[in-house]
Amino acid sequence: MDLLNTLVDKGLRRESPTREEALAVLASSDEDLLDVVAAAGKVRRHWFGRRVKLNYLVNLKSGLCPEDCSYCSQRLGSRAEILKYTWLKPDQATAAAAAGVAGGAKRVCLVASGRGPTDRDVDRVSDTIRAIKDQDGSVEVCACLGLLSDGQAERLREAGADAYNHNLNTSEATYGDITTTHTYADRVDTVNKAHAAGLSACSGLIAGMGESDEDLVDVVFSLRELDPDSVPVNFLIPMEGTPLAGEWHLTPQRCLRILAMTRFVCPDAEVRIAGGREVHLRTMQPLALHLANSVFLGDYLTSEGQAGHADLEMIADAGFEVEGASEVTLPEHRASRRGGGCGTHEDCGGGCGTHEGSGGCGAQAGDGGAGHGGTGGCSSHAGGGVCAPAPAARAEGPRTDLVAVRRRGAGTDLAPNA
């Protein structure tokens, strides 16, 4: 296809596709899907080889958020039966982070529900960052705390944070349909504050909330303009008790096209498969690794993910390798532009990338996406075992049985899934 050859050439030159080209990727047929994946895979391998970066979420404070993000299980008025707890102590957060690192994670993402942190909250999170860095100086730390006030990003940077996540989630035109308690401009402002403080900016989207192809292209082009180092792509997990509980529109093929479009528009950014991959990509997850160079390991904020050992097996079986702590994630032109401002690693690629995030997280990893808890998993395995398909499940329909509320790890007495 001439279109795909053009997109590959542009991606290798870091040149943006046109809106029409991006829309054509989303409109491509299932018959052409493998060609689309192969083309986007060439761009992914050019900038990132066959490495896969592992990121691990620690939910510092779960539930009781005052924001009304429709996708989020921690939102104001949510009836989702998620874990609810106040701030973890630094030693608890450090123990949770250590479990993820032991499982292979290179970056730890510290997430807290809420509109945004108070100055006292920033002090609290700074103490946790220092404790994690004292335990293992090679670990990258990303904070995801919501809307930032002036000076807060700088304080997090001084404490040792490498990155800050705050997702745009959807297009500016439709943002008011998803959230009313803060604005799209508020989110853009927080990403810019992270940039200005020398933090690696992480910002992504949530697909599957009823948006159009035009909305998806709008938000990804807006992300390209903001120029984050990391772009998490969340797939809505419609959790019971939230306004979007009935939104089951995604197929594995559509998810792959969305990831391919994101790779073409953001060719040299760390593209992360975030919340919802187990629920919507399902057995096609290994194919998605040809498009994205980063994933979350184990569970999300409020939902269970695939077993940690299954993640590692999937990566190896697909012919990829886990990125080591000493390897630089980003291409040299990105890694060097902050002058080492990413801490011990010039890699700056991480981020929370979940979608529970009302004002607080800005992602969707588990609320309905990736941020606060929302991807799938097997509720019958508290230890994170591999799940057998439910006998009644049909491949052509939504796999609602894959959504399981997190009951282990942070905020519980059970071992985490890592």
Question: What does 183-201 look like in DSSP terms, one character per residue?
Answer: -HHHHHHHHHHHHHTTPEE
- Residue 155 among the catalytic residues: no
pLDDT over 50 (residue 349):
no
pLDDT of residue 366: 53
HSE-up (13 A, CA, CB side) for residue 314: 24
Q: Which of 44, 75, 124, 142 is catalytic?
A: 142
The verdict on whether 266 is a catalytic residue reads: no
Active site residue 387: no
Over residues 352-372, mean pLDDT: 43
Instruction: Give Rg (Cα) of the chain.
Output: 19
Question: What confidence category does residue 367 fall into, taking pLDDT thresholds of 50, 70 and 90?
Answer: low
pLDDT level of residue 405 (50, 70, 90 thresholds): confident
Catalytic, 65? Answer yes
Q: Token pair 């509109």 is at which residue? A: 115
Which pLDDT belongs to residue 396? 65
What was the pLDDT predicted at 259? 98
Give pLDDT tens digits for 105-120: 999 999 998 999 999 9
Q: Where are the domains of the chain?
A: 44-213+226-252+266-335
- Beta pairing class for 107-112 and 321-322: unpaired
Q: Where are the beta strands (DSSP E) in 42-135?
A: 51-61, 107-112
Instruction: Supply the pLDDT for residue 362.
Output: 43
Least confident of 149-158, 192-201, 296-305: 296-305
> Could you give the C-alpha distances from 344 to 17, 119, 207, 227, 284, in angstroms and in order?
34, 25, 33, 22, 35
CA 26 to chain centre: 20
User: Which entry of 69, 266, 342, 387 is annotated as an active-site residue?
Assistant: 69
pLDDT mean over 349-359: 38
- Average pLDDT of the chain, as a whole number: 87
Structure confidence at residue 80 as a pLDDT band (50, 70, 90): confident
Active site residue 224: no
Which of the following is catalytic: 107, 124, 272, 334? 272
Which residue in the list 75, 107, 109, 378 is annotated as catalytic?
109
- Of the candidates 44, 65, 107, 387, the residue annotated as catalytic is 65
pLDDT tens-digit series, residues 324-347: 999 999 999 998 875 443 433 333
> pTM to 2 decimals?
0.88
> Which CATH number describes the domain made up of 44-213+226-252+266-335?
3.20.20.70
Residue 338 has a pLDDT of: 59
Contacts of 224 (CB under 8 A, 6+ apart): 16, 265, 266
Q: Which pair of tokens denotes residue 309? A: 């050992």
What is the mean predicted confidence (pLDDT) over 349-357?
A: 38
**Confidence bin at 81 (pLDDT 50/70/90):** confident
The token duo for 46 is 């050019």
* Cβ contacts of 123 within 8 Å, gap of 6 or more: none
Q: How many CB atoms lie within 10 A of CB 199?
A: 28
Q: Considering 144, 202, 266, 348, which one is annotated as catalytic?
A: 202
Residue 240 pLDDT class (50, 70, 90 cuts): confident
Q: At what angle do helices 119-135 and 152-159 cross, to 10 degrees?
A: 20
Contact 345, 142 (CB under 8 A): no
pLDDT band for position 68 (50/70/90)?
confident
Greatest mean pLDDT among 79-88, 243-252, 280-289, 378-387 lies in: 280-289
Is 255 among the catalytic positions? no
Give 181-218 pLDDT, tens digit per residue. 999 999 999 999 999 999 999 999 999 999 999 999 99
Name the more confident of 207 and 240: 207
402, pLDDT greater than 70? yes
